[in-house]
Structure 1
Amino acid sequence: MTSTVEEILEYTKSVMWREGIVIEYSSSEPIHLIFKWLVEISEKITDNILVLDVLDILSMLKLNLDIAGKDTSFIHNLDVIKIGGNIKLGKIIGYVDPHQDITVYASKYSKILREYYETHKNIVYFIFGMEKLVHLQERKEAFELYATNYTRYVFGDEERVGIYFINRDIATRALLLQVEEAASRVMEVIHEEGTLKIKIRKSPRLDDYGKEFKIPLEDLRHLKF
């Protein structure tokens, strides 16, 4: 049975400030469309939308949206923290070199984020590409632990929501499990037989566990919120 836009919207209304949401996907999923829809929803409740752009992943999302014929002008209005990469999109509020030692990297990133939190309220924070950084670090286990602690710092505040997109094809198992533990909700995006399935694997509401939304891929091009 396929899902309606109304059903999906009704579910998004249950998300509260302070939540941390993990969206797990594979490299072949149309995650660019999901990102655009979630930004459109976020724009209805706040002007403060922040994106963590690791190794130019935001430019990849924009390119895929452009090819799909979607309006990408909204990207220029997003606040962006860049970690590595050279393509500048959105309003860049800080840059971190991912090749630095983990302690230097962590200190600089935390400072950028803390200063943003001090001047902005009701923040929706989209996090992309953290799993890629693990493979750049010599001390992978230390970075996985840092990434988990950082995730807890993003999640849990009354004035923000964190949405963590993580590519399960790239993420280490340790990172994936630790981030899932820290999150209030975990959703899995799967493409099956012409249908995009969104499965709820973790939720504050017990009756949500195992719930699935199924959207025909053909309908994705016309889905609006």
Structure 2
Amino acid sequence: MEIFERDVFNQLRKIRRGEDILVEYTSSEPIHLIFRIVINYAKQSNTKVLLIDVLDQLHILKAHLELAGIDPSFIENLPVIKFGGIMKTGKILKRIELKSEIPVWREQYLEALKEFQREEESEFAIRIVVGIEKLIKLYEDDPRALETFFGTIIRPFLGDEKRVLVTLVNTSLLNEKILQEFREHSSRSFLVQLSEKRINFQVVRSVDFEDYGKTSSIEAQELQDSLIKLKRD
């Protein structure tokens, strides 16, 4: 656990303010374990965290942690901006209804970000997005709406030094064209794969070219058992 966490932390430390990070996984991977590792990193580096929860994906992550025997109570103390969904998971700052047009809920999102900065008395935070693939699927058959989404919600914030954006994307739920759009936009991309009971964390894109292809690996059960032992936050 120590070596795997150290290697992942070393990659996360290289991230510069303003970057957009893509973490790819499929429906077969235990992404809740990697989610917990990212939260561990933010805690150890004394960095504020803001969760962006799309259509109750945060509830799924919390439930999977709990079912695995990992204490999920840390989630309840983290600020959350919700897009759609009905579950009350985390410390919800704003619930944005997706029935509105994209420009409308974009403004609501910007106001929620300002509220977070006021409450936390900090302009900088790691924003972790979960469930975005479910939001994309609402627009995948509407090219105009999809371009509005990427053009007003995703691309303009790249380089904003008030945040680092980490987006967990289930590639099983996206078509290849949309996935390539995410990859092109992101400054770094990591791939999480479960193979022969081992979790592999691979760098597939980076602004630091020497990191391309670097892979950290750990037995999945070992990682889960180590996270079970963590003390409550």
User: How high is the TM-score relative to the length of structure 1?
Assistant: 0.89
Match of 2:158 in 1: 155
Q: Check whether the contact 2:59–2:89 (CA below 8 A) recurs between aligned residues.
A: yes
Match of 1:122 among 96, 121, 124: 124
Given residue 124 of structure 2, which amino acid in structure 1 is its aligned partner? N
Q: CA deviation at 1:38?
A: 0.6
Q: Check whether the contact 1:81–1:95 (CA below 8 A) recurs between aligned residues.
A: yes
Q: Check whether the contact 2:5–2:37 (CA below 8 A) recurs between aligned residues.
A: no
Q: CA deviation at 1:195?
A: 1.1
Farther-moved stretch of structure 1 (16-25 vs 146-155): 146-155
Identity %: 31
CA distance in 2, matches of 1:12, 1:198: 12
CA distance in 2, matches of 1:103, 1:122: 24
Match of 2:211 among 204, 208, 213: 208
Farther-moved stretch of structure 1 (34-43 vs 128-137): 128-137
Match of 1:97 in 2: 97
Match of 1:75 in 2: 75
Given residue 53 of structure 1, which amino acid in structure 2 is its aligned partner? D
Match of 2:198 in 1: 195
Question: Aligned in 2, Cα 1:13/1:48: closer, same or farther, shift over 3 Å?
Answer: closer
Query: What whole-Å deviation, never above 9, does each CA across 1:145-186 have from its counterpart, x for those lacking one?
Result: 233332234432223211001110112333222221221100
Structure 1 or 2: more helix by fraction: 2
Dislocated runs of 4+, deviation >6 Å: none
Question: Aligned in 2, Cα 1:31/1:154: closer, same or farther, shift over 3 Å?
Answer: farther
Q: CA deviation at 1:75?
A: 0.5
Equivalent runs, 1:1-225 vs 2, <5 Å: 4-46=4-46, 48-117=48-117, 120-137=122-139, 140-149=142-151, 150-223=153-226
Where does structure 2 lack aligned partners over 5 or more consecutive residues? none
Q: Number of paired residues?
A: 223
Q: CA deviation at 1:114?
A: 4.5
Given residue 30 of structure 2, which amino acid in structure 1 is its aligned partner? P
Given residue 190 of structure 1, which amino acid in structure 2 is its aligned partner? Q
Question: Aligned in 2, Cα 1:83/1:174: closer, same or farther, shift over 3 Å?
Answer: same
Residue 18 of structure 1 aligns to a residue whose secondary structure is: coil
CA distance in 1, matches of 2:140, 2:212: 37
User: How high is the TM-score relative to the length of structure 2?
Assistant: 0.86
Given residue 129 of structure 1, which amino acid in structure 2 is its aligned partner? G
CA distance in 2, matches of 1:142, 1:110: 22
Q: Check whether the contact 1:98–1:136 (CA below 8 A) recurs between aligned residues.
A: no
CA distance in 2, matches of 1:4, 1:142: 42
Question: Aligned in 2, Cα 1:166/1:17: closer, same or farther, shift over 3 Å?
Answer: same
Q: CA deviation at 1:115?
A: 4.5
Q: Check whether the contact 1:29–1:189 (CA below 8 A) recurs between aligned residues.
A: yes
Q: CA deviation at 1:107?
A: 3.0
Q: CA deviation at 1:81?
A: 0.7
Farther-moved stretch of structure 1 (7-16 vs 58-67): 7-16
CA distance in 2, matches of 1:222, 1:74: 17
